[in-house]
Structure 1
Amino acid sequence: MKKGFYILLLFTFFQVSGQKTYLKEHYDNGKLKSEGWLNQTQKVDYWLYYFENGNKKEEGHFINNKKCKWWIFYNSKEAISKKCEFENDQLNGFSVFYKNNQIIRVEKYFMGTKSNEWNSLKEFKKDNKLNFL
Structure 2
Amino acid sequence: MRKAIYFLVLCSFFKMTAQKEYVKTYFKNGTIKSEGWVQQNQKVDYWFFYFENGKKKEEGHYEANKKCKWWLFHNSKGEIVKKCKFENDLINGFSILYRNSQIIKAEKYEMGKKINEWNSLTDFKKDNKISF
Instruction: Determine if the TM-score, normalized by the shorter chain, exceeds 0.5.
Output: yes
RMSD: 0.6
Deviation at 1:2, TM superposition (A): 1.1
Deviations 1:33-85 (A, max 9, x none): 00000002100000000000000000000000000000000000001000000
Correspondences of 1:5-84 after superposition (within 5 Å): 5-84=5-84
| Letter of the 1:127 counterpart | D
Tell me which amino acid in the other structure corresponds to 2:51: F
Pairwise CA distance, 1:5: 1.3
Paired-residue identity, %? 62
Q: Distance between the aligned counterparts of 2:17 and 2:28, measured in 1?
A: 31
TM-score by length of 2: 0.98
Paired AA for residue 68 in structure 1? C
Counterpart amino acid of residue 39 in structure 1: Q
CA distance in 1, matches of 2:125, 2:65: 34
Matching residue of 1:113: 113
Q: Does 2:102 correspond to 1:102?
A: yes
Offset of residue 17 of structure 1? 1.3
Distance 1:123 1:100 in 2: 20
Describe the SS at the equivalent of 2:60. Answer: strand
Cα distance in 1, alignment partners of residues 88 and 29 from structure 2: 33
TM-score by length of 1: 0.97
- For structure 1, which runs of at least 5 residues remain unmatched after alignment? none
User: Distance between the aligned counterparts of 1:23 and 1:40, measured in 2?
Assistant: 13
Aligned residues: 132
AA at the equivalent of 1:120: S
> What is the SS of the residue equivalent to 1:38?
strand
Q: Which ranges in structure 2 are unaligned for 5 or more consecutive residues?
A: none
